[in-house]
A = this chain, B = another copy of it.
Amino acid sequence: MQKEPLPLQSIIYDAASDAVDIIDQTLLPHQLSHVRLQSLEHACQAIQTMQVRGAPLIGITAAFGLYFALRDGIPLGRASSTLAATRPTAVNLRWALRRLELAVDGADQGSDTAARALREALQLQAEDAAACNAIGDHGFTLLESLWREKRKRDPEATRLNILTHCNTGWLATAEWGTALAPIYKAHAHGIPLHVWVDETRPRSQGASLTTWELGARSVPHSLIVDNAGGHLMQQGEVDVCLVGSDRTAANGDVCNKIGTYLKALAAADNDLPFYVALPVSTIDFELPVGVGQIPIENRSADEVHRVVGVDEDGRLRQVRISPEGCPADNPGFDVTPARLISGLITERGVHEASAAGIAALHPDRSGSSEI
């Protein structure tokens, strides 16, 4: 545990000490505290306890974990399957591991393998930052045109209202974020935005992480409970929904934080655009359909029963909201069918949430099927 202030980046490799520094996201927004990862075990623990979370950041952390394992002489296969088991739903995790496996394939044993793994992990991190940057640019163009249209319909309009779920900002990625990247860029370009931030129970990443990120950059926002979004859409208080993805199927179905599906239904019922921002690395090209086909992580019932926050003395505490002995169920993700999605904002442009839209994003294809 290192307490010195570090630059605000979700993950940093420190060459001098051959270690990785992360922000312990379970303590935000109440404490900004960094944790140093130096081994496979550290990396697994950080992913499992959700000190790091967000599909892209999980992938990058796993890549460094695999590097630590190889450096420390742990066999590749064992290290890789240990890491893969930490979170079953996010596809980036396995994608990152495969990338590293391919990179070290054929290398001699020992230091050469580890060096290659490190290079690939750093490369993967840089690529994610670049992808998020590009997602931000494409999404910005979209928000800009939504704002232009809104002003045309209503010259008195004072802001573009965006609803988001969970945390998809720089905390969840190497830089920028996925669904928050367009928001940061649009805000920087002077588009008057206001973000409705879903609390995102059970772990409340919206209340604890997204509000903290937006507040730090002075992006206007309001926290709401997960129940409120449908009502706000019905009242005309939402112009567009913008969320992330943990795994995207080949037909455009999107698996994301539990509750995303409900917001997509409400957007469709109110004729509002619902966009998903995602790096191509979250696409599972092997998976034909998402609904019913993606293993949904069932997390501990404790997350439902208990809520973490600070008490009146600023002390971090956990309180139980339900009766002792009460049963609970805690699925971590849900799947939003492609038919409810207006488009996928990727680093390669905005694509249709459909088999054709996804096929055009395949690494072997470079054609443009942008919408």
> What is A's interface to B at a CB cutoff of 8 Å?
29, 196, 199-202, 204, 207-208, 211-212, 215, 220-232, 234-235, 257-259, 261-263, 265-266, 269, 291-292, 296, 304-312, 317-323, 325-331, 333-335
Contact A311 B322 (CB under 8 A): no
**Docked-complex contact A231 and B296, CB < 8 angstroms:** yes
A291 neighbours in B (Cβ, 8 Å) = 234
Q: A261-B266, A323-B29, A323-B212 are in contact. Are A334 and B231 (CB under 8 A)?
A: yes
For A200, the chain B residues whose CB sits under 8 A away are 227
Contacts of A215 in B (CB 8 A): 323, 325-326
B330 and A224: CB pair below 8 A? yes
B contact residues around A320 at 8 Å (CB): 309-311
**Number of this chain's copies in the complex:** 2
In the bound complex, residues from chain B placing their C-beta under 8 Å from that of A262 are: 227, 229-230, 262-263, 265-266
The residue that A308 contacts in the complex, of B222, B312, B319, B323, with Cβ under 8 A, is: B319
Closest Cβ of chain B to A168, distance in Å, is 16
Please tell me if the beta carbons of A201 and B226 are within 8 angstroms of each other in the complex.
yes
How many angstroms between the C-alpha atoms of A296 and B234 in the bound complex?
12
**A319, B30: Cα distance in complex, Å:** 11
Pick from B196, B304, B309, B327: contact of A199, CB under 8 Å = B304
Contacts of A227 in B (CB 8 A): 200-201, 226, 257-259, 262, 334
B224 near A329 (CB under 8 angstroms)? Answer: yes
Distance (whole angstroms) from the CB of A232 to the closest CB of chain B: 7
Find the residue from A228, A292, A327 having the highest chain B CB count within 10 A: A228
Is B323 a contact partner of A318 (Cβ separation < 8 A)? no
Max chain B C-beta neighbours (<10 A), residue from A208, A226, A320, A321: A321
The distance in angstroms between the C-alpha atoms of A196 and B326, with both chains bound, is: 12
A to B CB contacts below 8 Å, 24 in the list: A29-B323, A207-B304, A207-B305, A208-B321, A215-B325, A222-B327, A223-B326, A225-B258, A227-B259, A230-B265, A231-B261, A231-B333, A231-B334, A234-B261, A262-B262, A262-B263, A262-B266, A306-B309, A307-B309, A307-B319, A307-B321, A311-B317, A311-B319, A317-B319
